Amino acid sequence: MGYQALYREWRPKSFDDLVGQEHIVTTLKNAVNLDRIAHAYLFSGPRGTGKTSVAKVFAKSLNCEYGPTDKPCGECTRCNEHDKGQFMDLMEIDAASNRGIDEIRELRDNVAYPPSEGRYKVYIVDEVHMLTTEAFNALLKTLEEPPRNVIFVLATTEPHKLPMTVLSRCQRFDFNRISISDIENRLSEVVENKEMDATQESLFIIAKKSDGGMRDALSLLDQCLSFVKPGETLKQDHVLEVTGSVSEEIYKELMSAVQNADLNNILKITQKISDDGKDWGQFLNDLILYMRDLLLVTIDNATDHLLLGSRQTLESLANEFEKYEVLSMIDFLSEKQNELKWSQNHRLVVEMSLYRLVKREGIYQKLEDRISHLEKLLQEGKYTNIQKPKEIVRSKHQDNNSEKEIESYRDQNTYQDQNNDVSTKKNALSNEKEETEEGSQKDEKKLSFEQIEKHWDEILAKLKKKKITAHAFIVEGNPIKVEENILYLGFNKTHRLHKERVEQKERSVLQEVLAEFFGDIKVKCLIIEESEANVPSASKKKSNKQQNDLIGIAESEFGPEKVEVRKNI
């Protein structure tokens, strides 16, 4: 016999050879030992997880000459014929090719005949969801009450497409995806059996690429072993080249370029991906998964659930990104991934998406919309700590007297309000005059940094009342110096987003507030090292009331469990 593919050569021949699916294996072994054999089974689950293999092992256990047993001998005539696919009482039907009513009628007629060799006739119907409605209807009666020695095993990847009348007649077993560690262990066993060498990193990539399917993993390993020369060790680069994947170093370099706004380096990376013939859809999908791994490390250092990245690389990147930045990038690229399906130029979509990541254009739109919504609600007064007064219950005999008292009280208040209005208007006119005089004096004086430092908390409070969105970004900056009526705001590297947002949209609002205090003054923003930041002492004493107001609004909008208070250090 010629060469046999690895997934066929390593197909399980007993329950003990199966990898994963312990809940199914245990149930079937007990059913065989206790003689609790059902007439129909439904095996559902992802491709390559062992549905057909389990069905064949189950049939072999029932028909072994020394059985029924959960450990078929593998040496008797029936077991050997099972292994060779020559056992007459095991019928495997592909429902995708035999989906019509005529094929099911023929099956129904053959069911009436007793087994030729074994104890049971076992029908394995693969991809059963492909049968037509008429074929299902023709199968129902036979499936419900088959002959005593007939067992049906229906296998499908899409159980939701089966009629309820079929589902209700079967014992259903749901197959899970096989874990990466289990697949990796089986691949190591195969490589060792073949007397070949492979690095653990290469086997790990194959296991992840298989998406929980052992058959896919063995097929990919077979392909990779054919790629290397005899005596050569299978390495990570070989697997990446065979699968058309991008190495982790590329993703790390790309993320660093995004954080450092290095557009030139990003274009070099995309050119290399194009020259290597990589698929843009797979590249974008893997980039999202890599960001997902980065988010896990950023949030809780959850390195046990990584899909693409390595722990050491991701931990070094985590220091450069805030978690909300990574989360916003994932949302943004996921939307672009949908656009990629309908675009004729995939490279252009990917490059423009990366450009927007660099410029932070649109990736925080949802956050900005929510902040604007909160600001609107606050301005409308919908969020207050004042409770609605309780209704006062009065007795009937008090109603007349109460109404008279209220009328007299209203008359007194009306007179007082009129007097108060006159005095208030006078005070307002005098205040306006004083403010005008003070404003002209401020324009004449040269602005000093000490003045900014002294009034910075008042400026932030005024800014918060004027526009909460602007306050949220500007509060992360600190006044650095004042030169020629220009105020320089310093932002740390981790707050690059805030600096860019202030420059693009919020600078004019801050200048308007500053004008109320000091007259005409311009604002410029800088990125500085933390050690260079001259933080005003007044800024360090932030008002708890201001913080609690914003926290209360956020908790009312999103729920207390979703709000995290982060202190800048």
What's the pLDDT tens digit per position in 216-269? Answer: 999 999 999 999 888 888 888 888 888 877 888 888 888 888 888 888 888 999
Is-contact 58 28, C-beta < 8 A?
A: yes
Contacts 24+ apart (CB under 8 A), 357-363: 357/258, 357/329, 357/332, 357/333, 358/257, 358/258, 358/261, 358/262, 358/263, 358/266, 359/261, 359/500, 360/497, 360/500, 360/501, 362/332, 363/328, 363/329, 363/331, 363/332
Q: pLDDT band for position 543 (50/70/90)?
A: very low
Instruction: Report pLDDT for 414.
Output: 46
Query: Start-end ranges of CATH 1.20.272.10 in the chain?
Result: 248-363
Domain 180-243 falls in which CATH fold?
Helicase, Ruva Protein; domain 3 (1.10.8)
Distance (Å, whole) CA 297 – CA 304? 10
Instruction: Report pLDDT for 388.
Output: 47
Q: Please tell me the least confidently modeled range out of 202-206, 216-220, 387-391.
A: 387-391
- For domain 6-174, the CATH architecture is 3-Layer(aba) Sandwich (3.40)
3-state helix, strand, coil in the chain (%, to 5): 60, 10, 30
pLDDT digits (tens, 9 = 90+) for 505-537: 888 888 888 888 888 888 888 888 755 544 443
- Please give the share of the chain, as a percent, with pLDDT higher than 70: 78
Question: Mean pLDDT over residues 434-460, rounded?
Answer: 67
Query: Start-end ranges of CATH 1.10.8.60 in the chain?
Result: 180-243
Between 556 and 311, residue with greater pLDDT = 311
Q: Please tell me the least confidently modeled range out of 13-27, 405-419, 517-531.
A: 405-419
Whole-number average pLDDT of the chain = 79
Q: Which of 157, 194, 133, 132 is nearest to 52 (CA)?
A: 157
Asked if pLDDT for residue 368 goes beyond 80, the answer is no
Asked if pLDDT for residue 497 goes beyond 90, the answer is no
**How are beta strands 40-44 and 150-156 bridged, if at all?**
parallel
Q: pLDDT band for position 43 (50/70/90)?
A: very high
Distance (Å, whole) CA 464 – CA 282? 44
Query: Start-end ranges of CATH 3.30.300.180 in the chain?
Result: 449-562
Domain 248-363 falls in which CATH fold?
Zinc Finger, Delta Prime; domain 3 (1.20.272)
Q: pLDDT band for position 60 (50/70/90)?
A: very high
Q: What is the CATH number of domain 449-562?
A: 3.30.300.180
Q: pLDDT band for position 54 (50/70/90)?
A: very high
Kindly give the interhelix angle for 280-300 and 311-318, rounded to the nearest 10 degrees. Answer: 70
Is-contact 206 240, C-beta < 8 A?
A: no
Instruction: Report pLDDT for 158.
Output: 92
Q: Which two tokens stand for residue 377?
A: 């609600």
Question: Mean pLDDT over residues 532-549, rounded?
Answer: 46
Question: Mean pLDDT over residues 377-398, rounded?
Answer: 54
Q: pLDDT band for position 322 (50/70/90)?
A: confident
Question: Mean pLDDT over residues 283-294, rounded?
Answer: 87
Q: pLDDT band for position 561 (50/70/90)?
A: low
Asked if pLDDT for residue 418 goes beyond 70, the answer is no
Instruction: Report pLDDT for 311.
Output: 75
Between 366 and 378, residue with greater pLDDT = 378
